[in-house]
Amino acid sequence: MTTTLKQLRKLRSDLRPQGVLTVTRGGTHKDRSSGPERKCIATQVTMPVSDMIRFVVGPDAQIVPDILGKLPGRGIWVSADKAALEKAASKNLFARSAKQPVKVPDGLVAEVEVQVTRRLVELISLARKGGGAVAGYEKVKSWLMNEEAEVLIQASDGSERGKSKLSTPHYGSFIGWLTADELGLAFGRQVVIHGALSAGGLTSRVVEEAQRLKAIREVATAGAVRKEKTAK
């Protein structure tokens, strides 16, 4: 009997290893399965670095976002959340963490959003060039019907009536906080309303980056994102 993609996804979900628990000095248990963790300077909450934005102090003592996490220097970590980023920028928290005077540029939070958006668009574009992404209603519908899609992507400013005709893949993810113009850049078109990603390849990285952008754009997209279709 042929095993369907849906059954494989269910099996993969069932076999996914549970979080590795470690005991901290305080006696509490933490799940370490999600990779390295850092403490946010704004919330004081320790979380996976995949849910955070790294900053460094540049040569001119200016705070610089390090979206890729590769710039030299000691990292200063802030939750990828608009409120946390605004608090860090306005409450002198960067200087406190760096233990030196620093310059926080005007519009730092907006610049972080721009850079995270650009990175997400680049990742989707790379997935498309590798054959792991398609755009257009009919192509996306076909992928969904044939259980080839792992992620459904829809423009935040697209018609709700049109978007409601397509559903998130079972055990899949939904990304709905990029605009039609931004998706157009990712797919090499003027505008795109519907897109889809297959399993494997860059898909997990796309979903991870999308989660960071979602948190940064939370207020702006709260009314446009269908609650039942949030990226995991």
Mean pLDDT of the chain: 85
Is 11 inside a domain boundary?
A: no
| Mean pLDDT of the 200-206 span | 95
Full residue range of the structural domain in which residue 33 is found: 21-106
134 and 214 part of one domain = yes
User: Of 81, 106, 131, which closes a domain?
Assistant: 106
Residue 7: pLDDT over 90: no
In the prediction, which pLDDT does 218 show?
73
Task: Judge whether 215 lies within some domain.
Answer: yes
Count how many domains the chain has. 2
**Mean pLDDT, range 4-9, rounded to an integer:** 50
Decide if 74 contacts 100 (C-beta within 8 A).
Answer: no
Q: How far is CA 90 from CA 41, 86, 107, 108, 133, in A?
A: 12, 6, 11, 10, 39
Asked whether residue 230 is assigned to any structural domain, the reply reads no
pLDDT higher than threshold 70 for residue 221: no
Structure tokens at 168: 């998130």
Q: Distance between CA atoms of 225 and 221, rounded to whole angstroms?
A: 6
Look up the CATH number of the domain holding residue 53: 3.30.1230.10
Are residues 183 and 196 in contact, defined by beta-carbon separation less than 8 angstroms? no
The verdict on 69 and 132 lying in the same domain is no
Same domain, 99 and 150: no
How many whole angstroms separate alpha carbon 231 and alpha carbon 68? Answer: 20
Q: Is there a domain that residue 232 lies in?
A: no
User: Residue 176 class from Cβ within 10 Å (0-12 exposed, 13-18 middle, 19+ buried)?
Assistant: buried
Amino acid at 172: G
pLDDT of residue 35: 79
Q: What is the DSSP letter of 32?
A: -
**Domain annotation covers residue 186:** yes
Is 69 within a domain?
A: yes
Q: Domain holding 150: CATH number? A: 3.30.1330.30
At residue 96, does pLDDT exceed 60? yes
16 lies in some domain = no
Same domain, 102 and 121: no
**Is 99 in the same domain as 71?**
yes
Nearest C-alpha neighbor of 175 from the set 114, 124, 117, 231: 231
Same domain, 126 and 217: yes
pLDDT bin (cut points 50, 70, 90) of residue 34 is low
- C-alpha 66/C-alpha 48 separation (Å) is 16
pLDDT of 104: 96
136 plus 201 within the same structural domain: yes
% of the chain residues with pLDDT over 70: 79
Mean pLDDT of 109-137: 97
Q: Is 128 in the same domain as 97? A: no
Residue 96 CA neighbour count, 13 Å, CB half: 11
pLDDT of the residue at 145: 96
Residues 116 and 80 occupy one common structural domain: no
Cα end-to-end span (Å), the chain: 31
Q: Please check whether residues 85 and 128 belong to one and the same domain.
A: no
In a domain, 135, yes or no: yes
Q: List the structure tokens of 67.
A: 């979206």
Average pLDDT on 179-192 reads: 97
Show Cβ contacts of residue 115 under 8 Å, excluding neighbours closer than 6 positions.
Answer: 65, 67
User: Where is the domain boundary, 67, 87, 106?
Assistant: 106
User: 214 and 136 in one domain?
Assistant: yes
Q: What is the DSSP letter of 232?
A: -
Tell me the mean pLDDT in the region 113-123: 97
Asked if residue 97 and residue 140 are part of one domain, the reply reads no
Domain boundary among 106, 139, 163: 106
- pLDDT tens readout for residues 166-176: 999 989 999 99
Q: What is the pLDDT of residues 60-94, one digit of tens each?
A: 999 999 999 999 999 999 999 999 999 999 999 99
